[in-house]
Each structure stands twice: as C-alpha cells, then as structure tokens.
Amino acid sequence: MPSRESTSRDRPLVDIRDVSVQFGTQRVLRNLSLTIPRGQTCCIIGESGCGKTVLLKSLVGLLRPTSGEVLFDGKNLSRLSDKELTRERIRLGYLFQNAALFDSMTVGQNVAFPLRQHRQVTDKQVQELVLARLAEVGLPDTVVTKKPAELSGGMRKRVGLARALVLNPELMLYDEPTTGLDPIMSDVINELIMSTRRHHNVTGIVITHDMRTAHKVADRVVMLYPLPRLSPEESQVIFDGTPEELERCKDRRVRQFIRGEAGERLMELRQSSAMMPAH
Ligand SMILES: Nc1ncnc2c1ncn2[C@@H]1O[C@H](COP(=O)(O)OP(=O)(O)OP(=O)(O)O)[C@@H](O)[C@H]1O
C-alpha cells in the first residue's frame, strides 16, 4: 500500500474538474477539465476573452466556479476558511500582468511585503532575502530604495517576480508575463521563468499570447477557444500537447492563432458593431 507521502507526491498539483463559469447569461468556461502535474510548465493560450484569466482566478480562489471544482494539491481553495486559504495561498506565487506593485512603497518594501506578512523574520534576514531575490532576477542592490514609478516596465516585471518568489512558492502563475516588453526583455523574462523552475522546482502556469514564450518555456501548451464559437458538444480545449506538436497541429483554428491571422474576425467585429445601437 503506498505511503501517505508518496500518495500526495503523485497527486497532480492542480486538478481542474469539470469547471464551468458563467456571469449572468454569459458562459465563459464550460465543463473544463485539466490536470497539471508537479514540476510541469503549462502555457495556456487562446484569443482574447476565451477565459484564461477567469481560469487563473478560479484556481487561486479569487472566483468561485458556477459548477465543478478546482483542486490545489487536493484542496478546493474556494471552500476553505480565510485562515486556511491564507495558508494555502502562500504556496502560490502570482506574477500579475501589470506586476501590481504597491506604488507608495519602495522596491525593497514591495519584495519584503510577503515576508513581513507571513514569516517571523528579523530585519537583517528580510534585507538578505530581498537582495538575494532581486539579484536572482538581475536587479542591482541600488533599486531597493527606488519607487516602482522610477523603473522601466521590464524592471517592474522583475520586481514583481522577485516578490512572487520570496516565499518559495510551489506553483507560479504568470499572467501574460511578456506583454508590453521589447523582444529582448521578453526573452529575459522567459529565461527567468525557466531558471525559476530549474532552481526551485516550481510548477508553472503561464497565460500568454506570445508564441515565443510558449515555445521556449512550456512542456505543454493548452489552447482554449471562446465558447460562443463552439457548438454545445465541442470541448473548449482545442489543443493540448507539446510545443512541437502545436507546430504540427493541422486544426485551422490553432493555425490561425499561432500565425496571428485575423481571418473572418474583422468582418465579424464590423458586423457586430454595426448591430450595436448608435450613441
Ligand atoms: N468578474 C467578471 N464579471 C463579468 N464578466 C467577466 C468577469 N471577469 C471576466 N468576465 C468576462 O469573461 C470573459 C473572459 O475574460 P478573461 O479575462 O478570462 O479573458 P482572457 O482570455 O483572459 O482575455 P485576454 O487575453 O484579453 O486577457 C470576458 O468576456 C470578460 O468580459
């Protein structure tokens, strides 16, 4: 009989079970199931509005699915008490799209924030940990006293990453980590996602529109499709495989996305705006 230890290690870190999310009459996710094993980096791609961020929010317990459940290491975060949720949430690191730094705090205070909230640490330990995390993302000690507004977009993203990593999370969630960055800084972020995984054995979920990111960092790519474009019996996951398999995928919808072709979209958008009442 397997020990309790081996049973929990074998359990997928993330288990999305038959999840549907609906806002009023708008259905965004329908019967979505996905398991992410420990150590995997999974990129979730798909056109704007298909529900990628909604999925991420369901995962961290910020949003309760209309039906189905999302398990993190076997626990449904949306059912936990506040105390239990806090305990589980510190096992997750979240790099938000805009880095979501506290503007009124210095870089040092931003990175130190989770430590001060959740760990019993001395000022000296905080300082050492903050500097070590900043060095890891390629930022010098001199940024510690700066405010986020004094930094470039790429630096802010890296401060956000340092802050997300400071409590040694087991799962990192990256929401469009390269959006708005030049190709070189995008690649720096890709490299950091890869080194985070290598050095800390972190499981990763990366939401991205950037096909270079998907190719470089992913073990697995999952493509979601907007529900209004699907028939009731079709799965919302229209691709699930390696980046190499993605390249070879013949599905027209997948090819259109990875090549960045508007296809019939522009015509559809014009038609739907023509149907809108004039203001
Ligand atoms: N709290 C909410 N209340 C109502 N509708 C919402 C809410 N959150 C998301 N939506 C809707 O759900 C749909 C999916 O949104 P979501 O942000 O997940 O898309 P996405 O795939 O992440 O898009 P993008 O790539 O543009 O960020 C959108 O139509 C959005 O308007």
The CATH number covering residue 54 comes to: 3.40.50.300
Res 81: pLDDT: 84
Res 272: pLDDT: 66
| ipTM associated with this complex | 0.96
| Closest protein CA for atom 25 of ligand 1 | 48
Give residues (CB < 6 A) around ligand 1: 23, 28, 46, 48-54
Q: Tell me if 2 is assigned to some domain.
A: no
Q: Give exposure, 113-140, as e/b (b: 16+ Cβ within 10 Å).
A: bbbeeeeeeeeeebeebbbebbebbebe
| Order of strands, sheet of 14-23, starting from the edge strand that comes earlier in the sequence | 26-36, 14-23, 67-72, 75-76
Res 212: pLDDT: 93
Q: What domain range includes position 49?
A: 12-270
d(CA 253, CA 241) in angstroms, rounded, equals 15
Q: Tell me if 5 is assigned to some domain.
A: no
Res 279: pLDDT: 52
Res 243: pLDDT: 96
| Closest protein CA for atom 8 of ligand 1 | 54
Q: Tell me if 19 is assigned to some domain.
A: yes
One pLDDT digit (tens) per residue for the chain, 279 residues:
444 444 567 789 999 999 999 999 999 999 999 999 999 999 999 998 899 999 998 888 888 899 999 999 999 887 888 888 888 888 999 888 777 899 999 999 999 999 998 888 899 999 999 999 999 899 999 999 999 999 998 899 999 999 999 999 999 999 999 988 889 989 989 999 999 998 888 999 999 989 999 999 999 999 999 998 898 889 999 999 999 999 999 999 999 998 887 767 666 667 666 666 655
| Closest protein CA for atom 28 of ligand 1 | 49
Q: Tell me if 127 is assigned to some domain.
A: yes
Ligand 1 centroid to Cα of residue 179, in Å, is: 17
| Pairing mode of beta strands 14-23, 171-175 | unpaired
Question: Between 153-165 and 107-118, two packed helices, what is the crossing angle to 10 degrees?
Answer: 20
Q: Tell me if 7 is assigned to some domain.
A: no
Q: Tell me if 220 is assigned to some domain.
A: yes
Whether 7 and 30 have beta carbons less than 8 Å apart is answered as no
* Domains: count for the chain: 1
Res 99: pLDDT: 72
Q: Tell me if 30 is assigned to some domain.
A: yes
Ligand 1 centroid to Cα of residue 170, in Å, is: 26
Quickly tell me which residue has 């309760």 as its tokens.
64
Q: Tell me if 97 is assigned to some domain.
A: yes
